[in-house]
Amino acid sequence: MKKEIPEIPSGSIFGHLKSYVNDPLAFLQKQQKIHGDIFTFKVANRRLIFINHPDYIKRILQENHRNYKKSEAYRKLALLLGDGLFTSDGSYWLSQRRTIQPAFHRDQIKSYAQTMNDFSMKMVDRWRYKTEISLTTEMTRVTLQIISKTILNIDLHKEGQAVEQHLPFALKYMVNRITSPLATPTWIPTRSNVKFKSTVKILDELIYEIIQYKKQHLGVDLLSQLILLQNEHTGDGLSDLQLRDEVMTLFLAGHETTAMAMTWTLYYILQDEALRSRLIYEIRSIKNPWDAIGNYFIQSVISESLRMFAPVWILSREANDADQLGDYMIHPGDRIIFSPYMVHRHPDFWDNPDQFIPERFDKLPAHKFAYFPFGGGPRVCIGEHFALMEINILLVTILKNFPKMSLKSMEQVGYDYSITLRPGSEIYINL
C-alpha cells in the first residue's frame, strides 16, 4: 500500500522555521513523539521529510543509496570544501573515494598513532602549568594540530598558525549559512561575505604552497600519499585543485568531529565517579596509549559516548527519483533529514536510552542502522578508524596524567547545533 507522508500543519507562512531553528532536536523529539518515525514539515520555503526508523535509513544509506545525493546543506559546505569527498556525488565521488581509501586503511592509521601520541603528550605537559582548562578549546586545538601534522606534516608553527587563525572563521561562516535558510547570497558584498572570500583565498594560497613543496619533498604524511595515489581504474593522479579540495575536506571533517567526541566523552566520564574509577583501573595496565584499542571496556565507553552524543547529529539527502520508504512515497527532489542522535535513543531498539551504559555494547545493536555515528553504506566516514585511534590515545593520555581532574561546574551545558553537536557553553575543568 502506498501512502503520502503525513505533514505537520504549522499555521504560519514560515512553517516551523522558528521552533526548528531555535532548537532542532527539541522540535524533532517533540514531533516524533506525536507523529512517529516519518513525517514532513515546512521550514520557510522548504519542505523537509524527517525519518527516524533504521529500516528507512538503511534504504537511503545502503540499499538504494544511488538514488540519494547529498543535499543543499552539503552544497553550501562546498563553498569552502570544493568538490572534496564529503561534498561530491556520483561517479566523481566514487572515483575520489577509491583513490583516497588506501590512505585510511587500518594499517596506515597505525603509522599516525605516534603523531597522535606526541601531540597528546605535548598538551598534557602544557596543562601541568595550569590549574584550569577549557575543554572544548583544548580538544579543538589538539585535534587540529594532529590533523595538520598527519595530513600536511606541518607543525602548528608558521603555516599552522595561519590555519588555526583562519579556519575557525570560515567554519563559523559556513555553519551560519547552513542553519539560516534566509542567509544573504554570497555575491552580495556584506562584511562577512567579503571576509569569507579573503579567508578562503589565504587558506588556498597556503595549501597550494604546501602542495608544491610536498611534490618536491614527499614524506609519510597523508598529502604525500594523496600526491602518489592513482585511481586503480584510470591510473590518473589527483590534480592540484583536487588535492586542495581533499586537504580542506580532511581538515574540516577530521578535527571538529573528533574534538566534540572527546569533549562529550570526558564531560560524561567526569560526572560519573564509578565510571571514572573503572576507566582509571583499566588504563593502569596499558603501556602505549594506542594499545587501548584492544581494551574491551574502553571501546564500550567510547561507543556509548558516540551513541549518546553523536558529534554528527544530523544527516540529509535529496531524492533523485521516486522511491518508497516502507509504505511511504518519496518523490523526486524530496529533502530528507535523519539524526543519529535520535535513532540512538529509539525506544524500540535501545533499553533505557537516556542512561550511559557501556555494557550495552556487549552485544551488537538490535539493528545495524540503529547505531550509525559514522554514517553507513558506501558513504560511511572514511576517517572512522583514524578517529577511534585518536580518541583512544587522547583519552588514555589525559586520564593517566590527570586522574583527579574534575568539572568546574556540574550544571548541564545544553547544546549548540553547529555542523557538529557542540556544548551550549564552554566546559571548564579543574586539573
Residue number of the CB atom closest to ligand HEM: 383
Could you tell me which stretch among 13-21, 25-33, 211-219, 247-255 binds ligand HEM (CB under 6 A)? 247-255
Interacting residue with ligand HEM among 86, 112, 127, 173 (CB under 6 A): 86
Could you tell me which stretch among 178-186, 237-245, 253-261, 349-357 binds ligand HEM (CB under 6 A)? 253-261
- 147, 258, 428 from 406: Cα distances, Å: 27, 21, 9
- 115 contacts ligand HEM (rule: CB under 6 A): no
Q: What binding mask, one character per residue, do residues 351-380 give for ligand HEM by CB under 6 A, x or -? A: ----------------------xxx---x-
Q: How far is the CB of 383 from ligand HEM (least distance, A)?
A: 2
- 311 contacts ligand HEM (rule: CB under 6 A): yes
∠172-174-330 over CA atoms, to 5°?
135
Interacting residue with ligand HEM among 81, 142, 336, 387 (CB under 6 A): 387
Q: How far apart are CA 32 and CA 39, in angstroms?
A: 8
> Which residue reads 599552522 in cell numbers?
160
Which string of DSSP letters, residue by residue, matches 30-41? Answer: HHHHHH-SEEEE
Q: How far is the CB of 88 from ligand HEM (least distance, A)?
A: 8
Q: How far apart are CA 277 and CA 296, in angstroms?
A: 16
- 315 contacts ligand HEM (rule: CB under 6 A): yes
Q: How far apart are CA 62 and CA 296, in angstroms?
A: 28
- 24 contacts ligand HEM (rule: CB under 6 A): no
Q: How far apart are CA 27 and CA 9, in angstroms?
A: 14
Q: How far apart are CA 216 and CA 173, in angstroms?
A: 34
Interacting residue with ligand HEM among 99, 224, 257, 305 (CB under 6 A): 257
Cell readout for 56 is 528507512
> Which residue reads 570544493 in cell numbers?
82
- Among residues 249 and 397, whose Cβ is nearest to ligand HEM? 249
CB 344 within 8 A of CB 366: no
- 423 contacts ligand HEM (rule: CB under 6 A): no
Q: How far apart are CA 334 and CA 320, in angstroms?
A: 8
Interacting residue with ligand HEM among 314, 381, 393, 413 (CB under 6 A): 381
Sites of contact with ligand HEM (CB under 6 A): 85-86, 97, 249-250, 253-254, 257-258, 261, 311-312, 315, 373-375, 379, 381-383, 386-387
